[in-house]
Amino acid sequence: MPRFLRIPLSGLAFLIFYGCASAIAWILLPIERHRLRHLPADEQRLALDRFFMRTYAFAIGFMARLGLMHYRLPDTSKIPPGPKVIVANHPSLIDVLFIKASLPGVVVLVKAALFKSPSLRRIFMASGDFKGPDGEGQTFGKTAVLDIFVERLRAGRSVLVFPEGTRSPAWRLHRFRRGAAEAAIRAGVPILPIFVLNDPPVLKKGDKWYDMPKRVPEFELEVLPMIDTANRSSRELTTELRNMLAVRLEAARERTVARNRAEN
C-alpha cells in the first residue's frame, strides 16, 4: 500500500484503538467476568489471560488488515511454563501488543500517565498490569518498583521488561539497565529474551502517527533460548542480554541494507 494511503489509515487505526479500548473496558470485560463468575479464582485468571491475549491479537491483526504492517508471531508452544522475566528490545510504540498476543498472562509496568484514562486503567488492572510511580520514580531500577516486580514474579506471573527504559533508536540499542536481571535473580526465575524486529523502523520515540516509512513495515518476534539466573550476577546477565539482542539487530540491519541495494 502506498505511503499516502497509509497515513490516514494510521490515524484511523489510532482512533479505533482508543474506541475499542472503551468498548473492551466497559462492555466486553464485564460480560467476560460475568461469564466466568462461577469458576475458581485461578481458572478465572487463566480465562482472563486468554481473553486479553485474543484482544491483543485482534488489535495487531486489524492493523495488518488495514495494510499498515506485516507481522509474524513466534511459536511459543515449547516455552517452559512458570514465571519468568521477559526481556526485549523496544523499537516501536506497539511492541508490547505483539508480546502480549504471543504469551498469555504477561504483565508490565505501565506509565502512571496512562492510568489517568479510566478505560485503559480498567484494562490494565484486569490484566494484571500495574502502575509505576509518577515522574522519574517509575524508573525500573528504583527499589520500590523493583520490589513490585519481584512480588509479581513470586506470585507466579511473568513480567515483561524493556531494559532500555525507552524506545530504541533506529537500528541501535540504548544502554541496558540491570533491574530486569536483578529482579529475576531475587525471585529465582529464568530470563526469556525476545528479539523484536521492526523493519523499516516506525513509531520510534518522537515519531508521530503520520510518520510512515516508504515501505510497509514488518514486525517479527524471535524467542531466544531461556537463560538460567542461578549463581549469576545482574551485571553479567545484563551484558549477555544486550550483546545477544545487539547481534541479531545488526544482522537484521545488514540484511535490510543488502536488500535496499539490490532493489536500487
pLDDT tens digit string along 6-30? 999 999 999 998 899 999 999 999 9
Antiparallel, parallel or unpaired: β 218-223 and 191-199: antiparallel
Q: Are 204 and 168 in contact (CB under 8 A)?
A: yes
Domain total of the chain: 1
- Res 138: pLDDT: 52
- Res 130: pLDDT: 81
Compute how many other C-beta atoms are within 10 angstroms of the C-beta atom of residue 262: 7
Residue 158 binned pLDDT confidence (cut-offs 50, 70, 90)? very high
Residue 54 binned pLDDT confidence (cut-offs 50, 70, 90)? very high
Report CA-CA distances (Å) from 210 to 68, 96, 137, 155. 11, 20, 31, 41
Is pLDDT above 90 for 104?
no
Residue 109 binned pLDDT confidence (cut-offs 50, 70, 90)? confident
Q: Which three cell numbers, joined as nine digits, stand for 16?
A: 479505533
Compute how many other C-beta atoms are within 10 angstroms of the C-beta atom of residue 118: 10
Residue 113 binned pLDDT confidence (cut-offs 50, 70, 90)? confident
The pLDDT tens digits of the residues spanning 56-80 come to: 999 999 999 999 999 999 999 889 9
Look-up: residue for cell 486468554? Answer: 50
Strand partners, 108: 160
- Mean pLDDT (the chain) is 91
Residue 197 binned pLDDT confidence (cut-offs 50, 70, 90)? very high
Range of the domain at 142: 3-263
For residue 133, the domain's CATH number is 3.40.1130
- For the residues 195-206, what does the mean pLDDT come to? 94
Antiparallel, parallel or unpaired: β 158-161 and 130-131: unpaired
- Res 142: pLDDT: 58
Report CA-CA distances (Å) from 104 to 10, 26, 94, 216. 27, 22, 17, 28
- The residue ranking higher by pLDDT, 111 or 83, is 83
Is pLDDT above 70 for 211?
yes
Residue 192: Cβ-neighbour burial (10 angstroms; 0-12, 13-18, 19+): buried
Q: Say whether the peptide bond before residue 200 is cis (omega within 30 degrees of 0).
A: yes
Buried/exposed code over 66-105 (b: 16+ C-beta within 10 A; e: otherwise): bebbebebbeeeebeeebbbbbbbbbbebbbbbbbbbbbb
Those residues whose C-beta lies under 8 Å from the C-beta of residue 62, and which sit 6 or more positions away, are 13, 16
- For the residues 147-160, what does the mean pLDDT come to? 92
Predicted model pTM: 0.91
Q: What are phi and psi of 140, to 5 degrees?
A: -65, -30
Those residues whose C-beta lies under 8 Å from the C-beta of residue 149, and which sit 6 or more positions away, are 85, 109, 140, 159, 161, 179, 183, 187
Residue 199 binned pLDDT confidence (cut-offs 50, 70, 90)? very high
- Res 261: pLDDT: 85
Is pLDDT above 90 for 134?
no
Q: How many CA atoms lie within 13 A of 174 on its CB side?
A: 17
